[in-house]
């Protein structure tokens, strides 16, 4: 088990999300950076959908109640256990009573702690993910608090336990020719794109959009020059998904994130492709986003690059485990 000692901000239990309830108005939830959670679970030989802890703010501190392997992925944070520094994207071993501390965030915005066997909270509607708005899943449907105790599942007895790291996704999947200090995100145009004239569209594409303090698991509100439609747009609420970029009447875009509502009425100008939504999640307060239009075919190819990164990690972990078993 794991005991939460201190927490700043809405840390929560997340797996990859619940995808079978959308037709009932229940959002997906799940890790904001699913690549980071998958990678942590792969490093531990867990099921890739095993639940971990999503940590959007530091400092954060917890105590391990038993000997266990763990992996820290996502944002690059200053972390140590028992005074020993933990590198980013690394699998380590904790002893019963060890305290893991996450300090200042160096790069990124969302950290993930995966543990051998996963966080063993009840499955609700097909997922262990916390949905804060609906108060379901995770631990009592809420953010983690000091004093909370999280049970851990039984580890795979055949899994090799030892030190192991991997190249962070933001380095392995870095896009060439990206301006310094700007996160470039690929999008496909959405339903109301053509209701904005050429000048408004050009403004949307060439602007660097600042991430405001109004950023959370529901959505990221951005700040920049107002993008206004040809004429006011009034739409009835209709289905939306994580990644959709809506433009409210003030002309400031909102990117729907993992806890996005399942319907909304603001016009949609574009949608972040699945392969890049984690880049948005890892852009911190005050960070800048730039949107680049891409095709459906290129969006599929980008997802293939993500799959290739994870496939390589799976192969390397499996091979290392086989070598260590031979000794």
Same domain, 143 and 10: yes
- Any idea which residue has 């108005």 for tokens? 25
* Predicted pLDDT of residue 133: 87
Q: Is residue 323 part of a domain?
A: no
Same domain, 206 and 147: no
CB atoms within 10 A of CB 219: 22
**Tens digit of each residue's pLDDT (9 = 90 or more) over 104-155:** 999 999 999 999 999 999 999 999 999 998 899 999 999 999 999 999 998 7
Q: Of 181, 186, 177, 214, give the one whose Cα is nearest residue 288.
A: 181
Query: Residue 227 sits in a domain of what CATH number?
Result: 2.40.100.10
**Tens digit of each residue's pLDDT (9 = 90 or more) over 194-210:** 999 999 999 999 999 99
The whole-number average pLDDT for the span 251-279 is: 95
Cα Rg, the chain, nearest whole Å: 20
* Predicted pLDDT of residue 324: 66
Same domain, 262 and 144: no
Q: Is residue 68 part of a domain?
A: yes
pLDDT higher than 60, residue 95: yes
Same domain, 150 and 229: no
Q: Looking at 19-128, which runs of residues are DSSP E strands?
A: 52-55, 60-64, 68-81, 84-86, 90-94, 99-115
% of the chain residues with pLDDT over 90: 82
Cα–Cα distances in angstroms (integers) from residue 269 to residues 21, 88, 210, 246, 251, in the given order: 26, 36, 17, 6, 11
What average pLDDT is seen over the chain?
A: 93
Q: How far apart, in whole angstroms, are the C-alpha atoms of residue 92 and residue 114?
A: 11
Q: Which helix (H) or strand (E) covers residue 184, if one does? A: strand 182-189
Same domain, 163 and 18: yes
The whole-number average pLDDT for the span 8-33 is: 93
Query: Number of folded domains in the chain?
Result: 2
pLDDT higher than 90, residue 79: yes
Domain region containing 18 = 2-167
Domain end residue (candidates: 105, 140, 167): 167
Q: Is residue 272 part of a domain?
A: yes
Select the more confidently predicted residue: 321 or 175: 175
Same domain, 98 and 136: yes
Same domain, 78 and 207: no
Q: Is residue 325 part of a domain?
A: no
Same domain, 186 and 232: yes
> Measured in Å, how far apart are the chain's first and last C-alpha atoms?
30
Same domain, 158 and 216: no
Same domain, 219 and 132: no
Same domain, 199 and 276: yes
Same domain, 70 and 121: yes
CB atoms within 10 A of CB 323: 10
Identify the band that residue 326 occupies on the pLDDT scale cut at 50, 70 and 90: very low
Domain end residue (candidates: 167, 199, 219): 167
């Amino acid at each position: 088990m794991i005991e939460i000692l201190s927490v700043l901000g809405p840390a929560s239990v997340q797996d990859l999300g619940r995808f079978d309830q959308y037709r009932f108005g229940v959002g997906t939830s799940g890790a904001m950076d699913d690549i980071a959670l998958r990678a942590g679970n792969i490093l531990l030989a867990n099921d890739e959908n095993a639940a971990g802890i999503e940590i959007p703010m530091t400092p954060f501190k917890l105590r391990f109640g038993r000997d266990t392997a763990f992996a820290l992925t996502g944002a690059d944070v200053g972390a140590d256990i028992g005074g020993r520094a933990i590198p980013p994207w690394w699998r380590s071993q904790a002893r019963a009573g060890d305290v893991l501390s996450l300090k200042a965030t160096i790069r990124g915005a969302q950290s993930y702690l995966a543990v051998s066997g996963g966080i063993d909270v009840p499955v609700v509607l097909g997922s262990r993910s916390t949905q804060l708005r609906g108060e379901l899943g995770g631990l009592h449907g809420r953010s983690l608090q000091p004093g909370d105790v999280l049970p851990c599942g039984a580890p795979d007895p055949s899994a090799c336990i030892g030190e192991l790291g991997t190249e962070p996704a933001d380095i392995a999947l870095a896009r060439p020719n990206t301006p310094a200090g700007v996160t470039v995100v690929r999008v496909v145009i959405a339903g109301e794109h053509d209701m904005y004239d050429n000048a408004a569209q050009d403004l949307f594409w060439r602007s660097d959009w600042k991430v405001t303090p109004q950023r959370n698991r529901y959505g990221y509100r951005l700040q920049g020059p107002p993008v206004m439609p040809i004429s006011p747009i009034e739409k009835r609420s209709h289905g939306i998904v994580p990644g959709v970029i809506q433009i409210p009447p003030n002309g400031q875009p909102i990117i729907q994130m993992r806890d996005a509502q399942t319907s909304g009425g603001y016009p949609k100008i574009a949608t972040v492709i699945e392969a890049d939504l984690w880049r948005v999640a890892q852009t911190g307060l005050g960070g800048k986003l730039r949107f680049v239009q891409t095709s459906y075919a290129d969006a599929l190819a980008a997802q293939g690059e993500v799959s290739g990164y994870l496939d390589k990690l799976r192969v390397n972990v499996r091979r290392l485990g086989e070598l260590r078993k031979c000794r």
